[in-house]
Amino acid sequence: MEPHGVNLRYQSKRPVGAKILNRKTNLSMGKVHSFPGSSMKVGDFYSLDPRLIPKHIGIIMDGNRRWARGKGLKDGEGHRAGTENLKKVVDHCQKLGVKHLTVYALSTENWRKRAKEEVRGLFNLLVKIVKEKKEEYRLRGIKFFVLGNFQAFPRRVKRAIDEALKVVIKQERLKFNVALNYGGRDEMIRAIKQIIKDGIRPGEVDENLVNRYLDTNGQPDPELIIRTGGEIRLSNFLLWQLSYAELYFTDTFWPDFGPKKLEEAIKTYQDRQRRFGK
């Protein structure tokens, strides 16, 4: 089955597998177009309007194990392939001008319920990519950040994360958020507890105040949420922040969701009319 975008507010009338066209500007795949006020085109595979690139993209990276099992490989090979693909997606997001990228790497449920060997392998991959990319990302203006409670992790993992978080970026071009031991409900509970602890009066509580107590404090809400792997659910990811996000679900497993698939998702996002309740 071809990957496709699903919007829970409405279904596009475009048949699955049909050529993707922008209703307003009639952009088609593989052609270079000019945009009003800009002579540049963004995208290696699709002609994307640079003015409509989402500032914040969230990705639920699903399907590593099924990808591996479908090829007769061990689960760990799927996670390794997924990690290599993540590097490509981070690079491409920066190239396209995305300012914030949040990826769901390890949920509170994964952390507690997955086999110890698998979790240990995930920790090894995390430490490897953090150490490997720390200096490169500093030079490129990619700021590593963590959502969730990683203090429960083994000491070597915490140390590697702490070192990456301390890296100073002079000119930040992309905020790369990795959700680790993260759950949307847990995030809200932690925020509520801290609001109470700080003695905030009920009349003082509004959306802006709550935002300041969330892990994403200071960052814009995601405009596009992508889930790979064929499941059509949010799995406790950024529940507060995705109120007005466009949702895109694809059958493609995460290791195969490379730059071209990313552009396809963004192209679908650009084709939609965002009404915000109007």
Q: Which residues are catalytic?
A: 62, 110
User: 114: closest CA among 69, 181, 21, 201?
Assistant: 181
d(CA 246, CA 234): 12
